[in-house]
Amino acid sequence: MIQMEAMARGIIEHAIDDELTDRKLELSYKTFKKFEDIGVIKSAKSAMFGKIYSEVFSYFVNYKMHSEEPIKLDEMEEFENIIERRIFEIHSRILLLSAK
């Protein structure tokens, strides 16, 4: 099993932290809530999670692209493990915001 390099792991963790800042969450939630209210999407909360996930994944892909290394299956598994480890934090931040 190949372990993800520390720099890549750090970038993923930093990306999650960055996406969970109050300002970013509030701006995204307002937009998604408007879409939910007019019936374009089913759930602003679900859209928020998808946005956070895709942004974090983009950070990781960009890092790998610049290092000119392909993403290995083991690295993707570790990426998913990082997301799973922080899923309750992400979910609770979204719930807290939606309760305002």
What value does the mean pLDDT take over residues 18-31? 94
30 within some domain = yes
Residue 100 has pLDDT above 80, yes or no: no
Predicted TM-score of the model (pTM): 0.89
17 within some domain = yes
User: 30 is in which domain, residue-wise?
Assistant: 6-98
47 within some domain = yes
77 within some domain = yes
Q: How high does pLDDT run on average in the chain?
A: 93
1 within some domain = no
45 within some domain = yes
68 within some domain = yes
What's the number of domains the chain is made of? 1
Position 97 scores a pLDDT of: 87
Number of H helices, E strands in the chain: 4, 0
Q: Which of 77, 85, 10, 90 is nearest to 51 (CA)?
A: 90
Position 18 scores a pLDDT of: 96
What value does the mean pLDDT take over residues 36-63? 96
Burial class (CB in 10 A: 0-12, 13-18, 19+), 100: exposed
Q: Which of 87, 61, 82, 83 is nearest to 72 (CA)?
A: 61
Position 1 scores a pLDDT of: 57
